[in-house]
Chains A and B, each alone.
Chain A
């Protein structure tokens, strides 16, 4: 369950780093905070996740989100990651993370093969993390 004390700044930093691999730029963090109403929304229907534990223990959000998305459907962590992806997509610094400006078929195929294998590993890791750290609210 979300609480007013949920550390939004820490949440943003942790999710962004997991996605892009570098610290969140201050302006993007400010945009995340400006979306607080959306980020904190709990309209029901989506599975609640213990965000506090994930942030405090710096758990692998990518692995947890992927397992939840596959096995449990709509969930709060997935929604947060998706919001961060939208913010990052619009940031000039990440243009090449989303957009292929030049053709690179060989790189694309090898990259997708690697991500297929990596996703399988993340799935297994996510299953372990969710159970080991009791991340789902009962």
Chain B
């Protein structure tokens, strides 16, 4: 059988490409497709309510054998990936897709839905300025942004941040702010000039989080269990799109398949896709007219490098390096917890002399993770840390900064002879903007200290891009503006591997919009 299109992967790019192609041609989606062990239905209330009522099942929150506590012995692992039911997101990637990192600690996902299972739900459009080195304009992406937003449901407020987050009609109402988020926004509004002088602007979040029913998906409950409960219907997950397309029979989905390489038959022939059936059934081969690479930027690049059998070339590698700035609102110390709130409260934007590119940040409350993840950061003896958790955590916010990777790429990636990847990442200077942010918030009663800021190793943002960048005159490892690798219309890079640069904001919405755009182009070449 010859498929019109084979899509590799079910993350944001794969789901968006499938959404565009489904019903128009014969589509096969190949995916490793790790799935959650269970849905975590027992986590049906906020974690505070669960703990208070004695229904906080340790097996679901920390694991029967403490598998969610491995952060105690091992390196930093995002709280979003630690919980027992969420470990499927990054399960087994070191065995299936080994990477030797130098200054780079990536996480790769082979889960259905991809790394978007651990998405903070930030749904932001790139601006014309952020697309300035892409060989496409904002006008070309805008219709696709609109389609994606309509499909996934995006909540937000028109509060003067449209120039940065993208003008968007059809937003769902924004989620209610917590007391802390309200106080931070009021602090900004009261001292707007002072914040602006330091380069900061603050506004409401734009989130792929439902504040009311959207299609067959229920609204987000605000119970803070998204770090523990997979595939929360209130927050968009690409698997929801795949699931719906599979249900109506417009795509064929095959999981437990690891695609390793492809070849093309002559200059105009079919694409032969090769991989392994992970159930032990051996090698698999499929044939198609268009191959859509949507396995995530790192995995798609691995497939390309393996297919070209090139272990000499170094592909560019981009990553949003991150930092965390904890701050405490002194007046809120001793307040009661708010069992129901949205973790991501506000968007903070820095544009100023300390960074050549804008730096975007998210202001988070601390309701979602287990509080002992942070307790031992307090400079107090153990019982003091317990008291600090009780009295200070409701007053505590974390601002997570994302640094852009524009201009020359920060890192590179290559294929080793043993088919593992080598990836190296340079150092992004961090610390200055964090200090300015602390100073900006201080007069409003939010207290932080530079010594308490954390700077995780590169790779911990899960935002990877730029290995097969789009350009007008693509070489072998570059894409045309339509995502065609080396200009070959049969191989299309639909994920962030084709991004020319990596701005500081979450890239998921742009991955989806771009994947729909290139899939639309692929469809047009199929029907010509």
Genuine A/B complex: yes
For B372, list chain A residues within 8 Å (CB).
Answer: 82, 85-86, 89
**Known: A86-B69, A115-B383. Is A95-B336 also a contact (CB below 8 A)?**
no
For B197, list chain A residues within 8 Å (CB).
Answer: none
Q: Which of A37, A102, A123 contacts B381 (CB 8 A)?
A: A123
**Residue-wise interface mask of B (305-318) relative to A, using a CB-CB cutoff of 8 A (1 in contact, 0 not):** 00000000000000
The answer to whether B52 and A83 have CB atoms under 8 Å apart is no
For A122, list chain B residues within 8 Å (CB).
Answer: 381
The answer to whether A111 and B387 have CB atoms under 8 Å apart is yes
Question: Residue B56 at the A interface, CB < 8 A?
Answer: yes
**Known: A92-B52, A100-B336, A112-B387. Is A35-B376 also a contact (CB below 8 A)?**
no
**Residue-wise interface mask of B (356-399) relative to A, using a CB-CB cutoff of 8 A (1 in contact, 0 not):** 00000000000000111001100111111111111110100000
Question: Residue B53 at the A interface, CB < 8 A?
Answer: yes
Question: Residue A71 at the B interface, CB < 8 A?
Answer: no
For A116, list chain B residues within 8 Å (CB).
Answer: 380, 384
The answer to whether A100 and B51 have CB atoms under 8 Å apart is no
For B391, list chain A residues within 8 Å (CB).
Answer: 100, 107-108, 111-112
For B370, list chain A residues within 8 Å (CB).
Answer: 86, 89
**Known: A38-B65, A90-B62, A119-B380. Is A85-B386 also a contact (CB below 8 A)?**
yes
Question: Residue B281 at the A interface, CB < 8 A?
Answer: no
Question: Residue A26 at the B interface, CB < 8 A?
Answer: no
Question: Residue B170 at the A interface, CB < 8 A?
Answer: no
Closest to B60 in A: A90
B94 to A: closest C-beta gap in Å: 16
The answer to whether A79 and B72 have CB atoms under 8 Å apart is yes
Closest to A38 in B: B66
For B69, list chain A residues within 8 Å (CB).
Answer: 35, 38, 82-83, 86
For A87, list chain B residues within 8 Å (CB).
Answer: 58, 62
* Main SS at interface, chain A: helix
For B390, list chain A residues within 8 Å (CB).
Answer: 96-100, 108
B385 to A: closest C-beta gap in Å: 8
For A83, list chain B residues within 8 Å (CB).
Answer: 66, 69, 72
Question: Residue B282 at the A interface, CB < 8 A?
Answer: no
The answer to whether A37 and B382 have CB atoms under 8 Å apart is no
A100 to B: closest C-beta gap in Å: 5
For A58, list chain B residues within 8 Å (CB).
Answer: none
Closest to B392 in A: A112
B472 to A: closest C-beta gap in Å: 49
Q: Name which of A3-11, A47-55, A62-70, A130-138 contacts chain B.
A: A62-70
The tally of residues in B whose CB lies under 8 Å from a CB in A reads 42
Q: Which of B62, B73, B379, B389 contacts A46 (CB 8 A)?
A: B73
The answer to whether B334 and A108 have CB atoms under 8 Å apart is yes
The answer to whether A99 and B381 have CB atoms under 8 Å apart is no
Please count the residue pairs between chain A and chain B whose beta carbons lie under 8 angstroms apart in the complex: 141
Task: Give Cα A92–Cα B57 distance, bound, in whole angstroms.
Answer: 10
Task: Give Cα A34–Cα B64 distance, bound, in whole angstroms.
Answer: 8
Q: Which of B66, B333, B381 contacts A62 (CB 8 A)?
A: B381
B174 to A: closest C-beta gap in Å: 26
For B379, list chain A residues within 8 Å (CB).
Answer: 70, 119
For A96, list chain B residues within 8 Å (CB).
Answer: 390
For A31, list chain B residues within 8 Å (CB).
Answer: 58
Task: Give Cα A69–Cα B56 distance, bound, in whole angstroms.
Answer: 29
For B388, list chain A residues within 8 Å (CB).
Answer: 112, 115
The answer to whether A65 and B382 have CB atoms under 8 Å apart is yes
For B392, list chain A residues within 8 Å (CB).
Answer: 108, 112
**Residue-wise interface mask of B (470-495) relative to A, using a CB-CB cutoff of 8 A (1 in contact, 0 not):** 00000000000000000000000000
The answer to whether A89 and B380 have CB atoms under 8 Å apart is no
Question: Residue A109 at the B interface, CB < 8 A?
Answer: yes
List CB contacts (< 8 Å) of B328-351 with chain A. 333-337
Question: Residue B432 at the A interface, CB < 8 A?
Answer: no
Closest to A18 in B: B382
For B376, list chain A residues within 8 Å (CB).
Answer: 69, 78, 82
The answer to whether B51 and A79 have CB atoms under 8 Å apart is no
List CB contacts (< 8 Å) of A1-44 with chain B. 18-19, 31, 34-35, 37-38, 41, 43
Q: Which of A85, A90, A100 contacts B58 (CB 8 A)?
A: A90
Pick the most buried of B52, B337, B372, B376: most chain A CB atoms within 10 A of its CB. Answer: B372
Q: Which of B61, B73, B381 contacts A119 (CB 8 A)?
A: B381
The answer to whether B62 and A99 have CB atoms under 8 Å apart is no
Task: Give Cα A118–Cα B379 distance, bound, in whole angstroms.
Answer: 12
**Residue-wise interface mask of B (61-89) relative to A, using a CB-CB cutoff of 8 A (1 in contact, 0 not):** 11011100110111000000000000000
The answer to whether A66 and B72 have CB atoms under 8 Å apart is no
**Residue-wise interface mask of B (113-137) relative to A, using a CB-CB cutoff of 8 A (1 in contact, 0 not):** 0000000000000000000000000
Task: Give Cα A117–Cα B360 distance, bound, in whole angstroms.
Answer: 39
A22 to B: closest C-beta gap in Å: 13
Task: Give Cα A42–Cα B389 distance, bound, in whole angstroms.
Answer: 28
For B337, list chain A residues within 8 Å (CB).
Answer: 99-101
B56 to A: closest C-beta gap in Å: 5
For A34, list chain B residues within 8 Å (CB).
Answer: 64-65
B223 to A: closest C-beta gap in Å: 15
Q: Which of B52, B56, B334, B375 contacts A85 (CB 8 A)?
A: B375
B85 to A: closest C-beta gap in Å: 15
Q: Which of A19, A43, A108 contacts B333 (CB 8 A)?
A: A108
For A70, list chain B residues within 8 Å (CB).
Answer: 379
B256 to A: closest C-beta gap in Å: 29
Closest to A76 in B: B73
Closest to B48 in A: A99
Interface pairs A-B: 8 shortest CB-CB: A108-B334, A105-B334, A115-B384, A92-B54, A108-B391, A38-B66, A122-B381, A66-B381
Besides A95-B52, A99-B337, A115-B387, 13 other CB < 8 A contacts?
Answer: A18-B382, A38-B65, A38-B73, A79-B72, A83-B69, A86-B69, A87-B58, A90-B61, A90-B62, A99-B48, A99-B51, A101-B52, A105-B333
Provide 10 A-B residue pairs closer than 8 Å at the C-beta atoms, listed in order of the A residue: A19-B383, A35-B69, A37-B66, A66-B381, A83-B69, A86-B66, A100-B390, A107-B391, A119-B379, A119-B381
